[in-house]
Structure 1
Amino acid sequence: MQQSHMMTDQGEQGKSWMLYHILDRYIGSRQVVAIRRKTTLLFDQIAQRTKHPVKIFSTGSSAEGMEMKGSDMDYMMIDSYVKVLSGDEDVRCVEDSPEKTVFVMRDTNSRPGYVILQLVNLGEEGCTHMADSIVSVGDQQFISSEIYTHLYAESGNMETHGPAVSLMKEHDDNEAKGDFDFSHSFPCTSWPRQANEWRNRPRLYGWPNETLRYQIVKGGCHLVPVGDKTSSGAFLQWRISFTTAERKLIHSLTHVQFLVYGLLKYLLKQIADALKQLLGDTEVVSSYILKTTVFYAVENTPESFWKEENIFHGFMFCIKILIYWVHAGYCPNYFISNNNMIFGKVHGENQKRLLSFLVELYGITWDCLSIGEYIHPSLGQLVSRVRNGEWQIAQPTPTQLERDHDLKTFLKIFPLANNSFVLPITLKRLTESSTDLDEFIGYFTTTKALCAGGITIFEKHHATAKGNKQKYKALRISKRFMAPFSSVCTSPGLLLLATFHYQTGNYMKAIELCEQMISSFKMFVGDGSFVSKDIEKYKLI
């Protein structure tokens, strides 16, 4: 009743309530965001099981729990055969791991946050590009970030974008192209000296809390291959990256704070064309700068400020911070505050234009949500429609919410567990589950991994088994492995089991299972991506 009353209020708080509920559907509810994050963590755990020396760490919007039209799928590739020392450590530790390539950070004449990596030991293992990227400076050797990135991009026929290489992929819905960005990195288990101020600075409102700060510092940092473009020595320089720490911080935000972050990213997409016309570059105000804005805003405000009925005010507070930074010509990096991230980008006429543009956006308040056509209808239009009585946009029925929740759950977890080797991970997830969502993800992925094992057994022994007894035993195990997955989804679960019976000559059982698929719609996920007809069919349930 309280929410309904607020929704009918045409004042500032009422409009913020409307915006909150619209964002909750557009960006994701608490439950949907939790699904995205949990499946990302599971994906990373599965990826770590491989014996490949390059480990995967998911980054970007999807890993943070957000999905938006045109968003990238970003991954940080961590070379486990490389070790970077911060400079305070004893380089003699390389004797313990001669197979690893070891570098030590050295200061360079550039902005804080950039270093050069001096070679201490070229390991016996590792990628082929490593040795080819080493250059000599006097009697010392360093690895060139520019050569390293170029060689990786060249080997995979990909494009470079900052420290990343990009692979384009067409989406099935033809709405947009999404980039798959792979940023290669070297791990450093020590906290860099340049970020000591972040670790020690006073925090009036206690965010991030002491436990989270300890975890972040203990996790160290990474070095990514990109130099300071304002420096003459960019060829050799590497940037200190806090990607793993940033994901932890995003995950620690309250839902309102997270939605404000999403609203800022939405606005950036809507004004991208205007920024390009105004400044000739859409990267001046980047998604990373907006993330930095949110971090500083949350650190310097009490949690009570971030209420649902106050969400637009929180959004405007972040815009105000951004205006202040542009006016000062100084945007501090969150972890290395004396690194001005807009140095060399925002100055002179560009600074005046950007400042004027942001001040105008701030001045039109709610109307700034109606700018742009990249995402249509705009959030401003949706708020207007709710105010005119279309409540279902902001307050869908419980059935709609449950259906959306189901669809998004299956879409996120279906690509996981395609091999039986992930069973130890999925079983651990299942046995340690503390919520219904954890239990379902654990059960689904476990049954899918079992099914993959059953298929392998079938393919291996169906045609090669010696004697009927051995063949029957293999087929019985295969069926038992495949059966649990058939209880979760129609296709491929039940369809695979029907195919098994067909392949083994049990045609009546195959027909019976096909009849079940026709008469009852459990869930059809096919190759892991829903098409419109599947969604419409599910809506009829």
Structure 2
Amino acid sequence: MNHCQFLTYSLLKLFLTEIINNGVGDDDKLLCSYHIKTAIFWVIQQNTMPHWYPQNILGCFGVYFKLILKWVYEGVCPNFFIPDNNMFLSKIHGHKQVQLFDRLYGLYEKGLAVLLHSPSISSNIINVLNNPRLSISTDEKTLISETMFDVSLFDEIQSQDTIITLKLQRSMRCLHTIEQMIGSPLLTQYQVLLLQKLTASVLQQSAFILHMSQSNIYTLKNNLRYRADIISCHMLKLAAKFGFITGILYLAMYYYKTHRYMKALFIIEMIKVKIAQPYVMHRTNVDKDLYTEAVGRQSWCSKMRQAVAMDMGLCH
């Protein structure tokens, strides 16, 4: 293990001892340090984490914890040296498996704050979780203010939105994959939000691909072109309900491309009013007080649609 991998292993052992197995009798301690070590080996071999450094230790911890949660959910922990050997077979099955999964999933839903329940971790939280992207408040015992967390979150969502589809077949495969993933009980709120944004991007790209494919076929019947246009408009309107405020501008560009200039201008004037609101966030530019007052208690989905503007990417 490198230094970061060893730190993460130590963090997971503390998490296991002081949180997962805290107050549990010896006979009911189903997870052990060898399960933790096995998860470490599998993640390292599969190269799941692209960046191994101490500043990213929270991300590393999350990857390991989700893998262990997945194993408990499936009831299968493959031995690293003999993968066909299920290390859960003797203890973790049936009613005990369900109880352990419920316990772990309850911890998982608490997010990073669950680490503060460990005496060893909470007493050294600033030194152990030395992440420059986090702002730690010891008074409120929160790792980061809501607004600054949202700034980092939505900027990360934007950076991860890298799907480019040039053919409708690939678009359909992407949407089918997203549909399968969205039903997983192990998804975090962040992952659901990212899938939502990816869905919007795929729909936006698909609308223009469909339009170009119909426009290039000059012998196509008018009724087929009309139906393709209806579908493209519907996809763009649907995508605007999923992504950032500025997502509706793709519909304006589509109207302009199809010579419906008045409709395009109407959308532009409407979006100008929305993004001019003083609480709207654009990358790291945001009035914290006004943003919190406007959308502070709403879900990330609502915040993204109502109060977050991002630069638009165009595929050629």
TMscore range, shorter length: 0.3 to 0.5
TM-score (norm 1): 0.29
Q: Which of 1 and 2 has greater Rg?
A: 1
